[in-house]
Amino acid sequence: MIIDPISIALITLGGVLIGLGVHFIPVGGAPAAMAQATGVGTGTVQLAAGAGLTGLISAGFMYNFLATSGSFTSSDYILVLASGAVGAMIMITVTMFMGQLVYVYCVGVPPVSAKVDKDPITGDQQDIYVSKGTEGHGVPTVSFVSGTIGGLFGGAGGSMVYIQLMQIGNAPADPAIIALAGIFATGVFYVNAVLASYNIGGTIEGFHDPKFKRVPKAVISCLIASLLCAIIAVPIMGGVS
């Protein structure tokens, strides 16, 4: 029985990073599917989970590569985190880019934000391009950058949960430990992503959206939820090995 405070703290931190990352992702929900809101046309959880699970796979690959070949040092730890983050970033950017192609060339709308008059990054005029009766459309530059940052946080957070569980399991090549850590990381990921999406309540454009100011509430919620999950998960992983 090991209640390792450092592992619990790191798993909790991972969960908080996931919750934070979700707020950066431009989620348009059903309105965006009809090009009536800025962002990608699906729900928060689907987008975050898609990116996060890809991050988990890339982190798992890197962890397996590094941990089975010898000792797992702290620089390896950062490498796995980076691998997970990059995996999630690639997934979310590809999703946003392909969505953008559909919005621009198939639906025929200019990517525009309805929440700000000028794009905070490029300084381009936004408000005159918003179609009447809509909340913007497509994925403007600021939302794209924001989404990529979201992938970074989400992927790093998910990987952190996974690495920590694998470290407690202490058997990098055992399929049972890998599957258990993977499914736990997925469970923690979903709990945090859903809590964050309840905080957002539908659609968000990115860090320039007024709704982004709600982040502290999500951080507190994710902290409590992840702490609870971590306290449960740590003895299990310790118990299996």
Partner 1 sequence: MSAVEGGPASGGLPPNTIIAIGVIGGLAGIYLTMLNQTFNTTIFSVMGAIGSIFAVVWGADAVRRVCSYGLGTGVPSIGMVALGMGVVAAIFGLILPETGILPIPAILGPVISFIVAALIGLVIGSMSNKILKMNIPIMEKSMIEIAGAGCLVMMGLSASIAGSFAFNDAILPGVVSTGYIAIVFIGGAMTILHPFNANLGPDESQYRTLYVAVEKAALTMVIAGFASLTVIDTVSAAVTMLVGLLIFLVYFNKFMKSVHREAYKVVGTGLLPTAEELG
Q: How far is CA 1 from the centre of its chain?
A: 31
Give the DSSP H or E segment for 112: strand 112-113
> 175-204: which residues touch partner 1 (CB under 8 A)?
175-176, 179-180, 182-184, 186-191, 193-195, 197-202
- The residue range among 77-85, 96-104, 116-124, 218-226 that interacts with partner 1, by the rule CB under 8 A, is 218-226
Smallest gap from residue 166 Cβ to partner 1 (A) = 14
Smallest gap from residue 122 Cβ to partner 1 (A) = 30
171 binding partner 1? (CB under 8 A): no
HSE at residue 130, side-chain half, CA atoms within 13 A, is 20
9: CB partners within 8 A, 6+ apart: none
Smallest gap from residue 37 Cβ to partner 1 (A) = 11
> 10-69: which residues touch partner 1 (CB under 8 A)?
29-30, 43-46, 49
Give the DSSP H or E segment for 27: none
Which own/partner contact pairs does 166-174 have at CB distance under 8 Å and 24+ positions apart? 166/63, 166/67, 167/7, 167/72, 168/2, 168/4, 168/7, 168/234, 168/237, 168/238, 168/241, 169/237, 169/238, 169/240, 169/241, 170/241, 171/241, 172/63, 172/64, 172/67, 172/68, 172/72, 173/64, 173/68
Smallest gap from residue 42 Cβ to partner 1 (A) = 9
Q: Which of 20, 139, 142, 233 binds partner 1 (CB under 8 A)?
A: 233
Residue closer to partner 1, measured from CB, 166 or 191: 191
How many chain residues bind partner 1 (CB under 8 A)? Answer: 44
> 112-151: which residues touch partner 1 (CB under 8 A)?
none
The residues that touch partner 1, with contacts defined as CB under 8 A, are 1, 29-30, 43-46, 49, 175-176, 179-180, 182-184, 186-191, 193-195, 197-202, 217-218, 220-221, 224-225, 228-229, 232-233, 235-236, 239-240
